[in-house]
Amino acid sequence: MNFLLENATIVSNNPTREIFRGSVRVEKDRITAIGKKLKAKPREKRINLDGQILIPGFVQTHVHLCQTLFRNLADDLQLLDWLKERIWPMEGAHTEKSLYASARLGIAELLSSGTTTILDMGTVRHTDAIFTAADEMGIRAFIGKCLMDRNDCPKELREPTAQALKENLDLISRWHGKANGRLRYANAPRFVISCTEGLLKDLRSLSEEKNLLVHTHASENREEIKIVQSMTGKKNIAYLDHLGLANERLVLAHCVWVDEDEQSLLAKTKTKVSHCPSSNLKLASGIAPVPTFRKAGISVSLGADGAPCNNNLNMFQEMRLASLIQKPVHGPTTMTAQEVFEMATLEGAEALGLAHEIGSIEIGKRADLVAISLDKLHSAGGSDEAKSIYSSIAYACTPSNVTHTWVDGRLVYQAKSGKVGGVSSEQILQDAKRERRKLLQKI
């Protein structure tokens, strides 16, 4: 689809971080022109944004679409109890249909709140259902089947190593690079506690050979670290490094409890950290030392994690919290609005190896764009200065400010249409309700 977005306040994220009033031309899946005085071509489709803010779509580097159906069903617990008592039994009960409904509900929430790219960890089975939902609804997604092969994993999820790796390979050949490169595979061992050393070593070779991401949880909770130490004699990051997994293709969710040696490892190996402030607070895991990470040159991007530990999937909330939770300790000038906005866009793109394709509004990049209107009671106010615009986005906006979302030039959300990803919101909600009911009956 070719069109011209006119009269937008463009927050470009380009190398000089320009913000200006102008137009953006999209041809097929790419941005082909940007300018203050771009003229429409004859018969070109024109969309007047009437001064609304146009940003590059948000990139979330840690989510679980498989858990959206469990929202409000696993609250006020700490991580390991939350997993054992609530999440694992529900993941184990998923059918292809319930997983599809869960993924559609999650993607609908993400697209309608301005997230255009995700790094998703699935559950153990039915991963095709998540890929299918992402394929149809148009989100850019790295997805991986969750790998859990140790004997002490819950029986409803544990798989023999060879079987897990075979399905992993099959999924790579079915989905990696599909939909114009919009869908990609990311290996997803759940965490060190659930994986054999053999499996992790195999993933290292696979990631190297096929240039694939490895996406896992690490050092989220102090109890988890004790278990990892008793299993391996090492802390999480030291262990992953020992196996050769710590490198620029590794994305680690959380990293709340990381000692100085492990911080140097993260920096040295260019391992990426995905910070999930809502989840870390709600599961009482702690506060990740993000300002320290960033001073050390460690890449930190943002993610909402799963709906049952958040309980939303919107980036506005994660930006706001990522900033606010550091201020009481590090002072008011730490983690500014602009800084968390860049973590939510450019840093996410960088973490996924896609900084050349997404994360900013620049000619040649993919047309993953979000239009935001500040014209709401909760967000009105401010000026045209950059500082004020970043403040509006990071501190005042909520999903209700998003009016349009495009991915690869496709309009996947328009607030007034009642549809998201080509499906009516009503239908998505009904399907989710039905599948949730069936799932709960099963467990």
Distance CA 220, CA 309 (A): 13
Closest to Zn ion by CB, 119 vs 265, is 119
76, 338, 427 from 73: Cα distances, Å = 10, 34, 22
Closest separation between CB of residue 305 and Zn ion, Å?
5
71, 108, 368, 404 from 429: Cα distances, Å = 13, 10, 25, 20
By CB under 5 A, which span of 43-51, 141-149, 267-275, 297-305 interacts with Zn ion? 297-305
DSSP 8-class letter at 394: I
Structure tokens at 137: 């609804």
**Residue 203 C-beta-side C-alpha neighbours within 13 Å:** 36
Q: Single out the residue of 352, 356, 346, 357 nearest to residue 409, CA to CA.
A: 357
Does the footprint of Zn ion cover residue 305 (CB under 5 A)?
Answer: yes
Question: Which residues ranging from 128 to 147 are in contact with Zn ion (CB under 5 A)?
Answer: none
Residue 404 contacts by C-beta under 8 Å, 6 or more apart in sequence?
Answer: 47, 369, 370, 371, 411, 413, 414, 415
Closest to Zn ion by CB, 8 vs 148, is 148
Rounded (to 5) percent helix, strand, coil in the chain: 40, 20, 35
Closest to Zn ion by CB, 65 vs 371, is 65
Closest to Zn ion by CB, 306 vs 409, is 306
By CB under 5 A, which span of 68-76, 300-308, 329-337, 364-372 interacts with Zn ion? 300-308
Closest separation between CB of residue 63 and Zn ion, Å?
8
Size of the site for Zn ion (CB under 5 A): 1
Closest separation between CB of residue 422 and Zn ion, Å?
28
Closest to Zn ion by CB, 215 vs 436, is 215
Closest to Zn ion by CB, 305 vs 357, is 305
- Binding flags for Zn ion, 247-286, as an x/- string (CB under 5 A): ----------------------------------------
**Beta-bridge partner residues of 20:** 10
Residue 424 contacts by C-beta under 8 Å, 6 or more apart in sequence?
Answer: 418
Closest separation between CB of residue 62 and Zn ion, Å?
6
Closest separation between CB of residue 120 and Zn ion, Å?
10
By CB under 5 A, which span of 78-86, 225-233, 302-310, 329-337 interacts with Zn ion? 302-310
- Binding flags for Zn ion, 351-390, as an x/- string (CB under 5 A): ----------------------------------------
CB atoms within 10 A of CB 45: 12
By CB under 5 A, which span of 171-179, 301-309, 348-356, 387-395 interacts with Zn ion? 301-309
Distance CA 281, CA 439 (A): 28
Closest to Zn ion by CB, 47 vs 240, is 240
Distance CA 302, CA 253 (A): 9
Closest separation between CB of residue 61 and Zn ion, Å?
11
Does the footprint of Zn ion cover residue 91 (CB under 5 A)?
Answer: no
The residue nearest Zn ion at its CB is 305
Long-range contacts of 258-264 (CB under 8 A, 24+ apart): 258/219, 258/288, 258/289, 259/235, 262/219, 262/235, 262/236, 262/237, 262/238, 263/289, 263/292, 263/293, 263/296, 263/298, 264/296
Closest to Zn ion by CB, 29 vs 224, is 224
Distance CA 40, CA 330 (A): 48
Closest separation between CB of residue 122 and Zn ion, Å?
11
Closest separation between CB of residue 43 and Zn ion, Å?
47
Closest separation between CB of residue 306 and Zn ion, Å?
6
Closest to Zn ion by CB, 191 vs 413, is 191
Does the footprint of Zn ion cover residue 224 (CB under 5 A)?
Answer: no
Closest to Zn ion by CB, 126 vs 282, is 282
**What is the amino acid identity at position 353?**
G
Closest separation between CB of residue 81 and Zn ion, Å?
15
Note the residues at the interface with Zn ion (CB under 5 A): 305
